């Protein structure tokens, strides 16, 4: 199958060819014809399956230049919004179509100007609502709406925001929804806003013959030393180390640097520019090791990962599947290694109970013990268990100081939004929304690690 046989616009095919995208993926084969026909579509596919092109290619074909905002794409995070916009600009290189990228945490003025000139808008829910309130976003001519990573947006508490945004679009529009699962909230969106949608489901998991999965049983105080040992032992081209909490990401990344291993970190509280810079350096091969929270497991374009390390396990079994889906992609082999201690067994059993994964236990190895510091070097609160020293969280703020949106992602309306609340909501849409998001595990939960500053 080729894009020509899918009757894709020649200018788009030319741009795709230059990007060395010659043959459509399974999800693209399934969805492009449906979207071309004007059908409402629910797409379900694994990470790295090319879903941006699945909806981007046929929607670019439908846009008429200089006719207002015709396509609205809603994404859960800034990074994903930026990534989608960049991909659309590449696909539409030879078309006179403008794309506006809308997200919080940056000046709103340039976005206002971009909205007056663009036919396609890609944005996060919070900032889209800001523009709707300011009447700087006109959706009256919108003919196509895409909800990307819809299940993730539900988890993050965006469901009411999405409904409010959709209420400002014409009833007679094409709706396209992409996600890994169909929850009750997604089912309600389907019932309220979609017209007889067709479901396109591609292969959901990485092939066992390409992905090797292993785990170690290890004492919590030895986890970091084993990680350092494996990073030096394995033939790593690029590796992602996943942690379930932001504080753990920071602590592990800092200790790796102390151990002489260059690593960058990304999570919801790191500024957008630093996250994008870290991902860009990683994709270019300038950085080999990335320590990440769940924000990197969903949707983002992170290439050529040979190894995934689970420093701990998420509460949601599906998040494990998304994590290991960062490797063994595009026909390449990969390895996923999980470091299990007592507190991970419950999550591990939930994963094994829900998914048929081929994961093998590896025998404990001899390795050099490496110093692991939980607190910052300038923390004078003295040694103690994580979260029980003079500084409650080993040099990090406690869960109680975590910023939250004035609206918490629930039940907002234009009428009652104050200017101060609007300004507050311009910060990262995805890190202040919902206590249900797994990446936003509170610092209190990290007390279970049981690390001492003198531990190795």
pLDDT tens digits for range 94-150: 999 999 999 998 999 999 999 999 999 999 999 999 999 999 999 999 999 999 989
User: What helix, strand, coil percent values describe the chain, rounded to 5?
Assistant: 35, 15, 50
Cα distance between residue 120 and residue 117, in whole Å: 9
Residues 269 and 242 in one domain: yes
Helix (H) or strand (E) holding 273: helix 272-283
pLDDT tens digits for range 403-431: 333 333 343 444 434 333 334 443 444 44
The pLDDT score that the predictor gives to residue 210 is 84
Residue 432 lies in a domain: no
Of 173, 201, 229, which one is at a domain's C-terminal end?
201
Residue 36 lies in a domain: yes
**Helix, strand or coil, per DSSP, at residue 137:** coil
Residues 139 and 14 in one domain: yes
Question: For residue 257, is pLDDT > 50?
Answer: yes
Q: Which residue has the higher pLDDT, 442 or 64?
A: 64
Q: Which residue has the higher pLDDT, 33 or 271?
A: 33
Of 361, 389, 413, which one is at a domain's C-terminal end?
361
Residue 286 lies in a domain: yes
Residues 114 and 180 in one domain: yes
Residues 195 and 236 in one domain: no
Cα distance between residue 291 and residue 354, in whole Å: 26
The structure tokens listed for 414 are 């234009």
Residue 395 lies in a domain: no
Residue 90 lies in a domain: yes
Residues 193 and 223 in one domain: no
Of 201, 233, 266, which one is at a domain's C-terminal end?
201
Domain range for residue 89?
A: 10-201
The pLDDT score that the predictor gives to residue 47 is 62
pLDDT band at 82 (very low <50, low <70, confident <90, very high): very high
Instruction: Tell me the three-class secondary structure of 330-374, residue by residue.
Output: CCCCEEEEEEECHHHHHHHHHHHHHCCCCEEECCCCCCCCCCCCC
Count structural domains, the chain.
Answer: 2
Residues 136 and 269 in one domain: no
The pLDDT score that the predictor gives to residue 207 is 60
Residues 193 and 219 in one domain: no
Mean pLDDT across 397-401: 35
The pLDDT score that the predictor gives to residue 299 is 61
Residues 172 and 269 in one domain: no
CATH code of the domain containing 85 = 3.40.50.300
- Could you tell me the pTM of the whole model? 0.65
Residues 193 and 216 in one domain: no
DSSP 186-198: HHHHHHHH-SSPE
> How confident is the prediction for the chain on average, in pLDDT?
81
Closest residue by Cα to residue 340 from 326, 356, 320, 325: 320
Residues 220 and 321 in one domain: yes
Cα distance between residue 373 and residue 452, in whole Å: 8
The structure tokens listed for 141 are 């001519």
Residues 303 and 346 in one domain: yes
């Amino acid at each position: 199958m080729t894009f020509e046989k899918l009757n894709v616009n020649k200018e788009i095919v030319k741009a795709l060819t230059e990007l060395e995208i010659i043959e459509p993926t399974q999800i693209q084969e399934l969805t492009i014809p449906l979207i071309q026909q004007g059908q409402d579509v629910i797409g379900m596919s694994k990470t790295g399956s090319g879903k941006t092109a699945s909806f981007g290619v046929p929607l670019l074909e439908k846009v008429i230049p200089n006719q207002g905002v015709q396509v609205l794409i809603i994404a859960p995070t800034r990074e994903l919004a930026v990534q989608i916009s960049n991909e659309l600009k590449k696909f539409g290189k030879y078309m006179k179509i403008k794309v506006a990228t809308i997200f919080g945490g940056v000046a709103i003025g340039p976005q206002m100007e971009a909205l007056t000139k663009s036919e396609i808008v890609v944005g996060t829910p919070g900032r889209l609502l800001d523009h709707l309130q300011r009447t700087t976003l006109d959706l009256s001519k919108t003919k196509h709406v895409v909800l990307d990573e819809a299940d993730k947006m539900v988890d993050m508490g965006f469901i009411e925001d999405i409904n409010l945004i959709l209420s400002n679009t014409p009833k007679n529009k094409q709706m396209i929804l992409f996600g890994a699962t169909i929850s009750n909230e997604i089912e309600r969106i389907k019932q309220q806003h979609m017209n007889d949608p067709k479901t396109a489901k591609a292969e959901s998991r990485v092939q066992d013959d390409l992905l090797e999965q292993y785990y170690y049983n290890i004492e919590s105080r030895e986890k970091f030393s084993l990680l350092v040992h494996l990073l030096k032992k394995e033939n790593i081209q690029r590796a992602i180390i996943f942690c379930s909490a932001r504080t753990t990401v920071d602590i592990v990344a800092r200790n790796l640097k102390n151990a002489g291993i260059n690593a960058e970190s990304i999570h919801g509280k790191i500024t957008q520019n630093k996250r994008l810079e870290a991902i860009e350096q990683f994709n270019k091969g300038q950085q080999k090791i990335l320590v990440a929270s769940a924000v990197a497991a969903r949707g983002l374009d992170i290439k050529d990962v040979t190894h995934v390390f689970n420093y701990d396990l998420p509460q949601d079994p599906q998040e494990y599947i998304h994590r290991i889906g960062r490797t063994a992609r595009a026909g390449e082999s990969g390895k996923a290694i999980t470091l299990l201690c007592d507190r991970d067994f419950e999550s591990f059993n939930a994963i094994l109970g829900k998914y048929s994964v081929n994961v093998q236990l590896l025998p404990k190895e001899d390795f050099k013990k490496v110093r692991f510091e939980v607190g910052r070097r300038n923390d004078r609160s003295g040694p103690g268990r994580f979260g029980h020293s003079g500084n409650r969280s080993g040099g990090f703020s406690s869960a109680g100081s975590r910023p939250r949106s004035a609206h918490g992602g629930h039940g907002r309306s234009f009428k009652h939004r104050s200017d101060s609340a609007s300004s507050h909501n311009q910060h990262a849409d995805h890190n202040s929304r919902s206590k249900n998001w797994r990446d936003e595990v509170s610092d209190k939960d990290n007390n279970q690690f049981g690390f001492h500053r003198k531990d190795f």
